[in-house]
Structure 1
Amino acid sequence: MAPHKLYAGTKLREMRARFGLTQREFAAKLGVSLPYLNQMENNNRPVSTTVILALAQEFGLDVTELSTGDSARLVSDLREILADPVFADVMPPLADLRLAASNAPALARAFIELHRSYRQTHERLASLDEALGRGDSRVQASPWDEVRDFFHYCDNYIDAVDRAAESFASQATGGRDIRAVALAALASRGIRVEMTEMEQLRRYDAQTRVLQISSRAAPQTQIFQLLLQTALLQQDKLIEATLDFARFQSDEARAIAKIGLANYFAGAALMPYNAFLEVAQEVRHDLELLSARFDASIEQVAHRLSTMQRPGNKGIPFFFVRVDQAGTITKRHSATRLQFARFGGACPLWNVHRAFETPRQFLRQLAETPDGVRYINLARDVSKPGGSFGAPVRRFAIALGCEVRHADKLVYADSLDVTKASAFEPIGISCRICERKTCHQRSVPPLERQLSINTDQRGVLPYEVN
């Protein structure tokens, strides 16, 4: 098999701009000619082994960064957007989408933003009362979607916040746990913490400087909320600087993102990067052992595993998703080639949907996506009781997975035959862009395929995909 050629023009241009170098200066440091560099930056030539070594030696680059990044996400997003019926039969070839994502990522993102604006307009017009009630005709992305995309394209790893949380957690020494550190940090600001019988998880009164934490909440949730409030108060300048960098379109998006960054800090302080990565590798990513070691919930541990992408010290690239009982994705992130549908629910063939049927049990699944990539998936329900009789139960299930080539590093892969092709279940992303012809769970036809309809026959589907 011919070796895979690596084209990374966008990454090279970004790195040169980051160090403030001209093409001539950059070429000299890499030991190549100016025309050769120009061709690599425009993806007319693959990045050579000599250049990869020079990048590592001269700039300390983690070479895995060259083959990762936004391209896979952009291609997935573009395919799903172009599957919208509004585009009818204009689906470009996959090769063209890959070229656009790698050579013109800014243009690809602009197209995604344009489609998002179109959808927003369409939804507003569908609700006439709402449309007539607004004096502002400008179209903006949903604040929630805008924030989710921010984390999505940051690879769900925010370096400055992660390192600040790790530094904060380093105070947990000499018998002091992270809860004691958080309480001390709050006390140093004159804040009194009270455990209160209430439905809200956390309530802070800036006037009285009293922080109330729900006594009904699980201990892990109580610690997390203490850390979250600590982040909002102690790390405000860092969080605000990060928000300035993100340039959100609305105050609502900025406010949502602020909570998101505070949540990120809390998770990273509860499970500091290097210590967490070391233990995760030691216990082969056993979620229950990690939960006990770091006094965190299963969901918190799974989510943290999906963020372990620090340059130069990366963990396994995991995907993480949380769904509700209707199959709607409420959290999503992928550091793998697998990308989630931006609109609609997850593929019904994923084991995450079966987790509701087997409470408090881990379900394992070997799965293969239409592009031939194989994964090992882990699913479990993480339903959250209301804390009192009659209080509503929030029902969710989570899935955590990675490419099967990492199976030897996962305790959950033990006893699974990852060499047997028939052991892998076919899964997809979205029916409209899934190319499988015989899926028994298909809800709508794939837009890239022609259909044959025979009124005298009926198979699994009422049509045949050509």
Structure 2
Amino acid sequence: MATRKLYAGVKLRETRTRLGLTQKDFAARLGISLPYLNQMENNNRPVSSSVLLALASEFGFDVTELSEGDAERLVSDMREALADPVFSDLAPPLADLRLAASNAPALARAFLELHRAYRQSHERLASLDEALGREDASLGPSPWEEVRDFFHYCDNYIDAMDRAAERFARGPEGGPDPEQRALAALESQGISLTFKDIPGLRAYDEDSRTLTLSSHLRGPTRRFQLLHQIALLTQSQLLEATLDLARFQSPAARAIARIGMANYFAGAALLPYNRFLEAAQETRHDLELLADRFGASIEQVAHRLSTLQRPGAKGLPFFFVRVDQAGTITKRHSTTRLQFARFGGACPLWNVHRAFETPGRFLRQLAETPDGLRYVSLARDVSKPGGAWRAPVRRYAIGLGCEVRHADQLVYADDLDTGNSAAYEPIGISCRICERRDCHQRAVPPLERRLTVDANRRGLLPYEVAD
């Protein structure tokens, strides 16, 4: 497969600005001409390997920061938005979308925000009787969507919060494990800890300075909830400063993001960055070994693997997703070129949906997306018992994977026939934008293609997708 050229003009320009250099000075230190630098910054030429080497040697720059991850996310999100019937035949070609994502990412995000507002207003008009009865009806993003997109475009990595959690977990001279550190932090602040049969998982009473955890919590969940509360109690200034920078549009979004940040701290304290990265590489990303070593759950480990994006010390680029039994995506993140649908469910051919059929087992899949990229995908069901008879059990499935070129670093790929093209199952992102013509599981026609309908012929589908 041919290597894709790297166009990273926006990030190159941002790097120069951050260093406080003019184009002339920057070009001189990179050993290239001023016109050449200008062409690269305007994406008229790709970033050459000699420039990448110069960035690394001259400035100690982590060249992986010039990856196309953000642009690929924007392209994927714009394609999904442009598949909306409102655009009809107006959707621009893929090449134009890539140019917009690379050269004008702010404009691309503004377009996505505009489409989201349109979509939300359309949904509200469909239930006009409810919308008219609400004084706070607006066209702003839902708080949940706003927070989800914030983490999505931060690569699900918050550097300041991650490093603070790592310092907390390390403790003085190596210190005890994170749970013991958390208990010591509670004691130092005069907060008592109790375990009771309560509704929910955790409750903190500010007046009595008492933290109550459910007596039904298992080890990983108990540790996570304890560390979450510690984040709220000990990292409030850092939390608020980070939320200020995010500039959320509503108090509800800010409140949801605060919970998300505290969750991030808890996960990072339970699985400290450098120690966890070393263990992941040593075990070749064996989820069960890592869960046992760090006292975490399989889901916590899988999610953490997808956040290892610290500049200069990045982990393997993974995608991570969690779906419910209806196929709705409840968590999603990708540091690979595979992106997930913003609306609706994931491709039904993906093995994450089959995980519910084989509880307690890992399912492996070699998958190929319409753009020709190939992945190793791992899936497993995750059950969260209610802790009592008749208490509801929440069931999810998680998916974790990476491009097949990293298969040698993944223990789950050892006996897979990665060199056999026939071993790869065709998957997509969502039916609305999938380009495959002959998919037997297609739910709706692709909105970017013309259809042919012949009443006298019937194949797998009641229509044919034209070229």
Is this a same-fold pair by TM over 0.5? yes
- Aligned residue number for residue 79 of structure 1: 79
Q: Are the aligned partners of 1:431 and 1:446 in contact in 2 as well (CA < 8 Å)?
A: yes
- Aligned residue number for residue 67 of structure 2: 67
What SS does structure 2 have at the residue aligned with 1:381?
strand
The one-letter code of the counterpart of 1:278 is E
Alpha-carbon separation, structure 2, partners of 1:253 and 1:175: 36
- Aligned residue number for residue 437 of structure 2: 437
What SS does structure 1 have at the residue aligned with 2:69?
coil
Task: Check 1:3–1:333 CA distance in 2 against 1; reply closer, same or farther (3 A cut).
Answer: closer
* Matching of residues 217-232 of structure 1 within 5 Å: 217-232=217-232
* Structure 2: unaligned runs, 5 residues or longer: none
- Aligned residue number for residue 15 of structure 1: 15
- Aligned residue number for residue 371 of structure 2: 371
The one-letter code of the counterpart of 1:406 is H
- Aligned residue number for residue 405 of structure 1: 405
The one-letter code of the counterpart of 1:373 is L
* Matching of residues 128-147 of structure 1 within 5 Å: 128-136=128-136, 138-147=138-147
Cα deviation code 1:68-90 (max 9, x no counterpart): 33100000000000001111111
Cα shift at 1:9: 0.4
**2:312 pairs with 1:296:** no
Cα deviation code 1:103-138 (max 9, x no counterpart): 110000000000011111112222223321233564
Cα shift at 1:172: 7.7
The one-letter code of the counterpart of 1:240 is E
Alpha-carbon separation, structure 2, partners of 1:176 and 1:137: 50
Cα deviation code 1:410-433 (max 9, x no counterpart): 111121100000100010001111
Q: Are the aligned partners of 1:273 and 1:308 in contact in 2 as well (CA < 8 Å)?
A: yes
Cα deviation code 1:112-170 (max 9, x no counterpart): 00001111111222222332123356421011011111111011111111111111110
The one-letter code of the counterpart of 1:347 is C
Q: Are the aligned partners of 1:380 and 1:397 in contact in 2 as well (CA < 8 Å)?
A: yes
- Aligned residue number for residue 167 of structure 2: 167
Alpha-carbon separation, structure 2, partners of 1:246 and 1:274: 26
Q: Are the aligned partners of 1:89 and 1:447 in contact in 2 as well (CA < 8 Å)?
A: no
Task: Check 1:353–1:37 CA distance in 2 against 1; reply closer, same or farther (3 A cut).
Answer: same
**2:297 pairs with 1:315:** no
- Aligned residue number for residue 29 of structure 1: 29
Alpha-carbon separation, structure 2, partners of 1:178 and 1:165: 9
Q: Are the aligned partners of 1:243 and 1:257 in contact in 2 as well (CA < 8 Å)?
A: yes
Task: Check 1:222–1:86 CA distance in 2 against 1; reply closer, same or farther (3 A cut).
Answer: same
- Aligned residue number for residue 181 of structure 1: 181
What SS does structure 2 have at the residue aligned with 1:106?
helix
**2:250 pairs with 1:250:** yes
TM-score where L is the length of structure 1: 0.97
Alpha-carbon separation, structure 2, partners of 1:137 and 1:356: 38
TM-score where L is the length of structure 2: 0.97
Cα deviation code 1:28-47 (max 9, x no counterpart): 33233332222211111222
What SS does structure 2 have at the residue aligned with 1:371?
coil
Alpha-carbon separation, structure 1, partners of 2:174 and 2:155: 34
Cα shift at 1:447: 1.6
Alpha-carbon separation, structure 1, partners of 2:446 and 2:120: 24
Q: Are the aligned partners of 1:359 and 1:380 in contact in 2 as well (CA < 8 Å)?
A: yes
RMSD (Å), alpha carbons: 1.4
What SS does structure 2 have at the residue aligned with 1:402?
strand
Cα deviation code 1:290-336 (max 9, x no counterpart): 00000000000000000011111111100000000000000000000
What SS does structure 2 have at the residue aligned with 1:355?
helix
* Structure 1: unaligned runs, 5 residues or longer: none
- Aligned residue number for residue 381 of structure 1: 381
What SS does structure 2 have at the residue aligned with 1:365?
strand
What SS does structure 2 have at the residue aligned with 1:204?
strand
Q: Are the aligned partners of 2:175 and 2:181 in contact in 1 as well (CA < 8 Å)?
A: no
The one-letter code of the counterpart of 2:120 is Q
* Matching of residues 77-116 of structure 1 within 5 Å: 77-116=77-116
Q: Are the aligned partners of 2:69 and 2:336 in contact in 1 as well (CA < 8 Å)?
A: no
What SS does structure 2 have at the residue aligned with 1:252?
helix
Q: Are the aligned partners of 1:172 and 1:178 in contact in 2 as well (CA < 8 Å)?
A: no
Alpha-carbon separation, structure 2, partners of 1:371 and 1:209: 55
**2:196 pairs with 1:196:** yes
The one-letter code of the counterpart of 1:258 is R
Alpha-carbon separation, structure 2, partners of 1:32 and 1:441: 52
Q: Are the aligned partners of 1:10 and 1:103 in contact in 2 as well (CA < 8 Å)?
A: yes
How many residues are paired up?
A: 466
What SS does structure 1 have at the residue aligned with 2:384?
coil
Q: Are the aligned partners of 1:71 and 1:102 in contact in 2 as well (CA < 8 Å)?
A: yes
- Aligned residue number for residue 152 of structure 1: 152
